[in-house]
Amino acid sequence: MRSVLFDHVWKKFYRGERHDSLRDLIPGALRTITSRRAKGELESEEFWALKDVSFEVKPGEALGIIGPNGAGKSTALKLLTRILRPTRGQCQVAGRVGALIEVAAGFHPELTGRENVYLQGAIMGMRRTEVVSKFDEIVAFAGLEDFVDMPVKRYSSGMNARLGFSIAAHLNPDVLIIDEVLAVGDVEFQERCLERMRWFKRGGVAIVLVSHNLQSVVELCDHAMFLNGRVCAIGATSDVIGRYVRDAFAASGEARQGEIHINSAELRHLDGTPVAEPVEPRTTLRVTVEFGVVVEISDVTFAFLLHRSTDQLTVYAREFSAQELQLASPVPGRFSIQFQFQTNLTRGQYHLDVFVKHIPSQRCIARLRPAGHFTIAENRTWAGVADLNVSATVSGLSIDLPSAVRPDTTYLPDPAAPVK
Amino acid sequence: MRPLSAQSSFREDLEEVVREQWEYRDLLFQLTRRDLVLRYKQAVMGFAWAVLVPLTNTAVFSILFTRIAPLDVGVPYPLFAFLGLLTWNFTASALRFSVISLSSNANLVTKVYCPREVFPLSAVLVALVDTLVAATLLVVLMGYFRVWPGLAALYLPVVVAVHIMFTIAVALVLAMANLFFRDVKYLFEVAITLWMFSTSVLYPSNVIGGTAGLAIRMNPMTAIIDAYRDALLLGRSPLTRDFALAAAVSALFLLFVAVLFHRVEFKFAEIA
């Protein structure tokens, strides 16, 4: 059983100006008639937004779609929500589709919050009786009990988005489509939204999430798809994100020929073996960076940075001056710097960034990103970034429990009860 | 749900249109309510406009056709004109709202899925509510002129049904057309005036001969408005040959347009 199926979906778009006035109709039509073209061939103004995209999502699963801008992510979502139809191939969505996209699109500024809840609910496909029965819950979730009878034009943008999200969150969907929705509201509301999505997921809802915030993909999704017109990678979230981060930096191509450049970087264990993923926390790793100097250069520093790949969090950043490295002033030729560090990190994906900065101009004159990447695997923590090596011990347990709640009498599972 | 792919039969599409409209019936209600509530909130006179416009026009044309160029229409002229204007205005204002219904709801059309027919349909419903409000004045006028409807008035629901069917079909076409060609709404204003004078709104179709008269008699709106007068003012059965033809044309036209609309509606998001 599956809730969402994309079966070799292709979608073509028109890039150029459309003929949207009657004056343009006749020349436009003439051009269509006179120019002969094989069917299925792309016309000059057309392009494929999606090429042969296939994936499926089962109930209770969450798929994250990641990719650069213009990769076709929004197109995929619009196909899922039936706003668009595929040019070729099939897309099937089983059951009721809830979309956390443009959650306030149907709001009218002159109407009150209450009137807009009914209107937006109907737009999302809710029955009136359903809205009536959930009305109080919707308003409470949005935290807008005192403002329901105020026209929405006097709402702040945050209140607007919260109300919209809250309506969508009470939809009881079989499939939930989410587009960057966590960008709304304050931290507390965002956390409530995330919790709501996890609740949907536990309840067997299939989720498709599109996000540039890779961290939220990691937190919610079991599977991910790296989309760039076609499917570049699909599978376990951590693998796909790793692939995406590497590709993203490779594409940015920062190989610049200047006074100094970075030839290569190699990340290895202390014993010289290549870093085989994943890495245990608190492992010592060494990255060897080879520099090539074209012209003698002075007044430079060498920066070593460690980022979490999923959200670009800078975990560590340090600059080493040439004096510190006892590298008086690099002369033409080659040299290497070894940076050794400990992975005192929680689970996640990380990458290194090494650059050379010219002090007088404060310019970065050579950079290698990523200069290495690795994944940390552990199962003790559930959030955070630094491995603080926390331990917990109990002392002073001397409370005399009343016999009724004594563990050995009451809380032992009934042996006769069926095992769930 | 039926898989989304390129081909489907006429029947499948028609069934889907009907099923979707039923599923989203609350949306149709809410959109209609929204437009009526907004009008009430934003305009001081609210529904009074619905009465005032046909009333003013009736007064003007009554002076024209009873004092300046008297016209024998078989019933008191103000009553003849008011009924013509009332029913004509339903179509005209339904179409005026419909023509921009998709383009003015572009934020919904491009971003949220819902059957797009609801936008022109709710425009028609809003106009229908206005017409019902204005129809109270018709009752007053009939009382004043002591014209009592006979048994023929029982045909009224049939006439109304055909009238609504025809209006919906044209509304769907115009809403679609304006999305593809944004100057349709300007062209509409010109066309609706010409259309009104090619319909038996202010004068019976038989007073005009020649090609112009033929154009008036060929027009389904003439048959529909004449049917209202037959049923309500003249006390005779409105089921004439012309009306039957208009009914058949309206029904076929609506079926065809509903499926056409459904087939191109997935393109709306790309162009709106």
pLDDT tens per residue, range B8-36: 788 888 898 899 899 889 999 999 999 88
Q: Which of B23, B33, B112 sits opposite A123 (nearest CB)?
A: B112
The answer to pTM > 0.80 is no
Beta-carbon count within 10 A of A27 CB: 10
Backbone region of residue A82 per phi and psi (left: phi > 0; alpha: psi in -120 to 50; beta: other values): left
Contact A111 B34 (CB under 8 A): yes
The contacts of residue A173 (CB under 8 Å, 6+ apart) are A95, A96, A97, A98, A200, A205
**What's the confidence (pLDDT) of residue A20?**
61
Contact B112 A22 (CB under 8 A): no
**How does residue B244 score in pLDDT terms, banded at 50, 70 and 90?**
very high
Angle at B127 between CA B125 and CA B132, to 5 degrees: 95
Q: What residues of A are in contact with residue B112 (Cβ under 8 Å)?
A: 81, 83, 99, 101-102, 105-106, 123-124
pLDDT tens per residue, range B95-113: 999 999 988 888 888 888 8
Q: Per the domain annotation, does B10 fall within a domain?
A: no
Q: Per the domain annotation, does B40 fall within a domain?
A: yes
**What's the confidence (pLDDT) of residue B163?**
96
Distance CA B51, CA B55 (A): 6
Q: Per the domain annotation, does B2 fall within a domain?
A: no
Domain ranges of chain A: 4-17+41-245, 256-376
Q: What's the total number of domains in chain B? A: 1
Q: Per the domain annotation, does B8 fall within a domain?
A: no
Q: Return the percentage of chain A with pLDDT > 70, whole number.
A: 83
Burial of A300 (0-12, 13-18, 19+ CB in 10 A): buried
Q: What residues of B are in contact with residue A88 (Cβ under 8 Å)?
A: 6
Residue of A nearest to B39 (CA): A110
Assess B144–A contact: CB distance below 8 Å, yes or no: no
Query: Domain A256-376 maps to which CATH number in 3.40.50.720, 2.70.50.60, 3.40.50.261, 3.40.50.150?
Result: 2.70.50.60
Give the position of tokens 């004096």.
Answer: A323
Q: Which domain holds residue B67?
A: 17-271
**A278's tokens:** 């994943």
Assess B270–A contact: CB distance below 8 Å, yes or no: yes
**What's the confidence (pLDDT) of residue B37?**
86
The pLDDT tens digits along chain A (420 residues) read 678 888 888 888 876 555 566 666 666 666 655 655 444 555 667 788 888 999 999 999 999 999 888 888 888 888 888 888 888 888 888 888 888 777 777 888 888 999 999 999 998 888 899 999 999 999 998 888 899 999 999 998 888 888 988 888 888 888 988 887 566 667 788 788 888 888 899 999 999 998 877 777 887 888 999 998 889 889 988 888 888 877 776 655 444 456 788 888 889 998 888 887 788 888 899 999 988 887 777 788 899 999 988 878 889 988 888 888 888 777 778 888 999 999 999 888 898 989 888 887 777 888 888 888 888 888 777 778 888 888 888 887 766 655 544 444 444 444 444 444
Q: Per the domain annotation, does B192 fall within a domain?
A: yes
Do the interacting molecules here have an ipTM over 0.85? no
pLDDT tens per residue, range A364-419: 888 888 888 888 888 777 778 888 888 888 887 766 655 544 444 444 444 444 44
The contacts of residue B214 (CB under 8 Å, 6+ apart) are none
| Class (C level, CATH) for A4-17+41-245 | alpha beta
Q: Per the domain annotation, does B11 fall within a domain?
A: no
Q: Per the domain annotation, does B3 fall within a domain?
A: no
Q: Which of A83, A119, A127 sits opposite B113 (nearest CB)?
A: A83
Contact A11, A87 (CB under 8 A): yes
**B40's tokens:** 């009430």
Contact B41 A99 (CB under 8 A): no
Q: Per the domain annotation, does B247 fall within a domain?
A: yes
Do A256-376 and A4-17+41-245 fall under one CATH topology?
no
